[in-house]
């Protein structure tokens, strides 16, 4: 009989990691967030506190619930502090080599019955699971950004993932208040397989002079009912992440339609990564009034 999952480890304190830690702690799980950089952990805790304060102001969380949630949340820089977790979710950078190194280290310290999950947005779950001695207890749990606000989690079974592992993480996702969509272990899964080529095409439209940044975003917001335009969304996701996902789609599927737009690659080469770096398709020097690149 499988034990109920009560303790969750999160590897990575970036925007995805701190969001997952936030919803885990808020929904009754004991959460330990790990990052090699203590400054990243401090920043993540400040972000979680600020976001929970906003929930309190809106009335979706009480002050007492916030206090209880924060008490369930710990941070660490030591992998061994995750040894007793029932489930560990990796939310590190979208780099296969880095993820495999993390999973090899986790596999060595975790108790035998613990489950492993990756928040990867495009990398093969089967390949990541293969570096561990527990591929049957390995699964993809792809949360959407920003995690506290977005209702969806993509659940991805690897080739060796058991039905029991799948059902146990489905319970976790439900307890976190999320709605699940189940995807096969294919490049990009569901959301990024459909979304990223559209964002990439918006970059081509800009590169080819079809329209300027503002017109492209306005057209898709008002013409297709999207909550934000594709170039704004690319900036929000991070242009480096967009390029990484397009390269995975291109390399794995071998179709030229997935080739990253040269202008998008040029922005990344320049260090213009979108909102997080202060500049992308928009300049965020004044965050209240971002200026389009052209």
Beta bridge partners of 183: 156
Strands (E), 24-102: 30-34, 73-76, 87-90
Of residues 40, 90, 142, 200, which has the active-site annotation? 142
Strands (E) located in the chain: 7-11, 30-34, 73-76, 87-90, 115-118, 138-143, 152-157, 179-183, 282-283, 291-292
**Spatial CA neighbour of 83 closest among 118, 119, 112:** 112
Establish whether 30 is a catalytic residue. no
> For this structure, is 121 an active site residue?
yes
Query: Residues 22, 40, 154, 200: which is the catalytic one?
Result: 154
Which is catalytic among the residues 121, 124, 183, 200? 121
Q: Is 250 a catalytic residue?
A: no
Scanning 72-182, the segments in alpha helix (DSSP H) are 96-109, 125-129, 163-175
9, 105, 125 from 132: Cα distances, Å: 17, 9, 11
Q: Taking a C-beta distance cutoff of 8 angstroms, is the pair 213, 294 a contact?
A: yes
Determine whether 37 is an active site residue: no
Q: How far apart are CA 19 and CA 153, in angstroms?
A: 13
Q: Which ranges of 72-227 does DSSP label H, i.e. alpha helix?
A: 96-109, 125-129, 163-175, 191-207, 213-224
Give the catalytic positions in this structure: 121, 142, 154, 192
């Amino acid at each position: 009989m499988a034990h109920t999952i009560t303790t969750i480890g999160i590897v990575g304190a970036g925007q995805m990691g701190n969001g997952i830690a936030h919803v885990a702690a808020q929904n009754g799980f004991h959460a330990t967030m790990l990052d090699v950089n203590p400054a990243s952990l401090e920043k993540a805790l400040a972000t979680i506190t600020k976001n929970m304060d906003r929930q309190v102001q809106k009335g979706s969380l009480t002050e007492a619930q916030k206090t209880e949630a924060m008490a369930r949340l710990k941070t660490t820089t030591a992998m061994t502090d995750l040894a007793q977790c029932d489930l560990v979710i990796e939310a590190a950078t979208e780099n296969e080599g880095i993820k495999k190194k993390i999973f090899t280290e986790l596999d060595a310290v975790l108790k035998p019955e613990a489950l492993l999950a990756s928040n990867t947005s495009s990398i093969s779950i089967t390949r990541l699971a293969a570096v561990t001695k527990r591929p049957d207890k390995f699964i993809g749990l792809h949360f959407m950004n920003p995690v506290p606000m977005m209702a969806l989690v993509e659940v991805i079974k690897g080739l060796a993932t058991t039905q029991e592992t799948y059902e146990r993480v489905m319970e976790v996702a439900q307890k976190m208040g999320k709605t699940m969509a189940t995807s096969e272990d294919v490049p990009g899964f569901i959301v990024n397989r459909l979304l990223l080529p559209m964002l990439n095409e918006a970059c081509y439209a800009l590169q080819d002079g079809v329209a300027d940044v503002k017109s492209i975003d306005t057209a898709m917001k008002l013409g297709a009912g999207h909550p934000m335009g594709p170039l704004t969304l690319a900036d929000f996701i991070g242009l480096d992440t967009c390029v990484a996902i397009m390269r995975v789609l291109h390399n794995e599927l071998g179709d030229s339609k997935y080739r990253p737009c040269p202008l998008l690659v040029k922005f990344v080469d320049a260090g213009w990564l979108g909102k997080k770096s202060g500049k992308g398709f928009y300049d965020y020097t004044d965050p209240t009034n971002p200026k389009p690149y052209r």
